[in-house]
Amino acid sequence: MRSAIGSLRLGDFRSYETAELRAAGRTVFLFGPNGAGKTNLLEAISLLSPGRGLRGADLADLGRRTPGEARGRAWAVSASIPGEDGEVRIGAGLESANDARRVVRIDGQTARPGRLADHLRPIWLTPAQDRLFLDGAADRRRFLDRLVFAAEPAHAARVNAYERALRERLRLLADGPADPAWLAAVEARMARAGAAVALARAGTVLALREAIDARAASPFPRAGLRLTGEWESLAGEGADAEVIAGRLAEALAGARARDAAAGRGLVGPHRGDLAVVHAEADRPAAECSTGEQKALILAIVLAQAARLSGAQDAPNPVLLLDEVAAHLDRVRRAALFDEIEALSLQAFLTGTDEMLFETLKGRALGVHVDGSRLTELDA
């Protein structure tokens, strides 16, 4: 295991005044009643990576509040990451409740949030993703982009650059001045970023297909993956960034009047989707049972984790699996634990019932969570 959390510390974060979890690189299962603070621990870990974490919450909402306090306090999350060259400590938080930006520190030195990905790359699965195949395409794009980001941290900057250019173009179309030269410059930026986004998504889906095929003996259902977006399809057919950007810029120029009338962009990678089928049943994921859908999502996440665990140029992912075990039957639950161990991954799992993790005992650290207090089980 090349990258794992040695210890985790929280200060005034969510429901925790202070807390320390000494994982020592092990997989951890957290159990306790609803509202005990289990998901808060997973969220804390997710904030030790670029982005807004697994809940997508505003930074000001993460600080602990006591009764009567109108706003949350300044908060901090930190972790030690053991490595070949010694331990690295990474941290994130707000120094003041009035701060608008997260402060990131690596070994005590202020750093850009993107540098967190050099040390930790969480991939998460939460109950909010249970409707991934039933809700809109935007949720599936975010799910896919998170998987892409785990392998290519620069992907987040490309997505942000594309979305900024998209908003700027829509403002010009709606409010003016709709100067053709100005629009062309914005569309050129949008096209370059969009081409990079499409290529990264297509590359990840191709790699996931290969990883899924290599896991043919897995007890989880085989997920068939396909990108439906025009630009991702071009990327999948072998078009390079220059070709995709050129065609996208032409399409954007031709869609100005239509986009202005619609008040939204109708062309670009932000319109794409991830299509998933249950391969053995030859049935779209949206038509599968809730249990099958959960197993399909987990199969995709495990395929990406397996892919990254074999990569020599990236830290291992850390899996954050919130209330996943409760949705699996006994066979698949045991298979999940076995796969985590076989891949030498560190995972943090939550559940209300200790019995869900019976086959993990002796192989992982068990922690009872109640009232935001952590009690480790005896080994």
Indicate which CATH number applies to the domain containing 369.
Answer: 3.40.50.300
Alpha helices in the chain (DSSP H): 38-46, 137-151, 155-175, 180-214, 230-236, 241-254, 256-262, 290-309, 330-342
pLDDT digits (tens, 9 = 90+) for 163-195: 999 999 999 999 887 899 999 999 999 999 999
| 288 and 360 belong to one structural domain | no
| 302 and 159 belong to one structural domain | yes
Are the beta carbons of 326 and 333 closer than 8 angstroms? Answer: no
Residues spanned by the domain of 332: 1-120+318-379
Interstrand relation of 7-13 and 76-81 (parallel, antiparallel or unpaired): antiparallel
Q: Could you say which of 314, 348, 368 is where a domain stops?
A: 314
Q: Which two tokens stand for residue 219?
A: 């007890």
pLDDT of residue 219: 83
Identify the three-state secondary structure at position 143. helix
**Strands, sheet with 283-284, edge to edge from the N-terminal-most edge strand:** 223-227, 274-278, 283-284
Q: Could you say which of 314, 329, 348 is where a domain stops?
A: 314
Q: Is residue 125 part of a domain?
A: no
Q: Could you say which of 314, 340, 370 is where a domain stops?
A: 314
pLDDT digits (tens, 9 = 90+) for 102-155: 999 999 999 999 899 989 889 999 998 989 999 999 999 999 999 999 889 899
Quote the number of domains for the chain.
Answer: 2
Cα 6 to Cα 17, 20, 79, 100, 109: the distances in Å are 21, 11, 7, 29, 20
Residue ranges of the chain whose pLDDT lies below 50 = 1
Report which residue type is found at 98. N
Q: What is the CATH number of the domain that holds 153?
A: 1.20.1050.90
